A and B are shown apart, each in its own frame.
Chain A
């Protein structure tokens, strides 16, 4: 197990390094920061001073080196707009995004798995066909449109739920969260459902396909031949097998959910990192964009690592391979 984890961490470090190269050079290619940063009326001397101050007179590989060294110290640059460290800005907004993403994942799993398993066990029933039709809608409707519809129906027409902001937050282990207050929860529900819809459809499909496949296996028949109750057969023998692919895919999708929160956060004015990113892009606030990308990459990598470890816990066959290697 520890061999496996060590190896995966080393791989992750390589990926982070490669991504830092791509992000740094990529953003540098997009445009000359000097044009964006410096008052066009400034004279040549001012411009040169500014360039020196930003280290832009150095060859690009040296600039990258500074960036890397600073990044390792936790300094990803200062926001041009807020004049605050970019990292700090992002970390301030991260809890809101993470809360939204986890709430969405939670909804996707607790609604998606039962629906998918049901559809897999009774593939020909009307209910299953309705579930599957719903999942196709969930896949194909654009998130922003569904979000707007949610706002129109539940906030404007019915007036049941608020449509913007996080609502009342409380502090949980020093982090501001919405889901512990009724007001916060009511603010969280619509955006979380909106963000969850796509993943929920994915979970339904995965769970259904898994269930259909597993239900035909001899070991399920054998479990029934032992006289086990249908609930034990489904909840233990079927579920444990389908959880492996579902957990893997969902884990890998968590990064995507965080990234895609950008759309939902914009629609629902949810004060998370996604909204910060969109604002920063519009304002050409480059350090924030770079910091956002680096943080996202890091998050993806950590998530993948956790998924791999979870996967090996769920699937004993993976564990064995590791022991041998």
Chain B
């Protein structure tokens, strides 16, 4: 990063700007979850797939963070890593995940199990596959409650019923007796959301939870999610492709590319003034304050294979600002208020 470049740089207009240009990269902050330099690799026969390779972000109570990125950028694997449910041949090989001050990487299975589904819940991407086809909904909901609390079946049932109503499922008693195949995709997704809410977790990781839902329900779920975060202080990581959702829902945004967080910060700041060329491309190059609220822009080129990714910036092949420098690892640049980007030649003026 050339020092003279700083004069033309976009500076957030608030007090946080003073942090800009600090020599050492500050560590991600947040009182609920801090992920630092997370590396989750898959040791496949074809080679090592570095699905998550150095991701850092933090999230605080009541905060909503949008996690966006192309297909295969490692969003879901990041979520699985936080819950400690990465399946072999995948493995967390480095970094740290601190949840409410407690290190989760390397935590023993029994302690981890007490957190899973209770303090941290996840809503999976594919609603059709999330529920066990041979178990009734009530079984699947009640067991989630009773795994963490010594309550009677009746009390657990009542709780399940209450949460189903909350996610907009009418006649919950009838629904609880049903099997997943009797539900539509949207309905199953709502059940999955309800299961995540059962134990009032402190952190919810929602992996594209509204894609299977129609617009009205989607709006309703988003509203409920936001309300939940405001009221109970639950932190929410919302994984999505849809920038409209992020713009309307999230406080912060973290953009992933090829297993890395390439840019993150306050949602308005990032969407109005994307600095990383990838984010810039996503939002589009036409200057407009209203760019946000549009779906992701298609960037020419393909996501690189994560198998044996060459060193340097992974976006290089598709980047119009790439230079020779970009064959090296790009630096993390900070611009106050937790705004950061990994790039040698970031945009400073926002889309223009």
Contact = CB atoms under 8 A, between A and B. Distances in A.
A125 to B, nearest CB: 12
Contacts of A31: none
B121 interface: yes
Interface of B: 80, 83, 85, 87, 113-118, 121-122, 124, 126, 129-136, 143-144, 147-148, 179, 181-182, 192, 195
B112 to A, nearest CB: 9
Given A223-B132, A316-B134, 19 more contacts: A218-B124, A218-B126, A218-B130, A219-B129, A219-B130, A222-B124, A222-B131, A222-B192, A224-B85, A224-B116, A225-B116, A226-B143, A226-B195, A227-B144, A228-B117, A236-B143, A240-B132, A240-B135, A316-B133
Contact of B132 (A237, A315, A317): A237
Contact of B134 (A224, A228, A241): A241
A39 interface: no
B135 A225 contact: no
B124 A227 contact: no
A325 interface: no
Contacts of B115: 227
Nearest to B181: A317
B133 A241 contact: yes
- Chain A: number of interface residues, binned into ranges: 20 to 34
Contact of A226 (B80, B117, B136, B182): B117
B117 A240 contact: no
A167 B179 CA distance: 49
Contacts of A320: 179, 181-182
Interface of A: 216-229, 232, 236-237, 240-241, 244, 314-317, 320
A236 B121 CA distance: 21
Contacts of B148: 227
Nearest to A319: B179
B147 A229 contact: yes
17 contacts: A219-B133, A221-B85, A221-B124, A222-B122, A222-B124, A222-B192, A223-B132, A224-B116, A226-B147, A227-B118, A227-B144, A227-B148, A232-B147, A240-B134, A241-B134, A317-B179, A317-B181
A219 B143 CA distance: 14
A226 B130 CA distance: 11
A52 B352 CA distance: 109
Contacts of A222: 122, 124, 130-132, 192
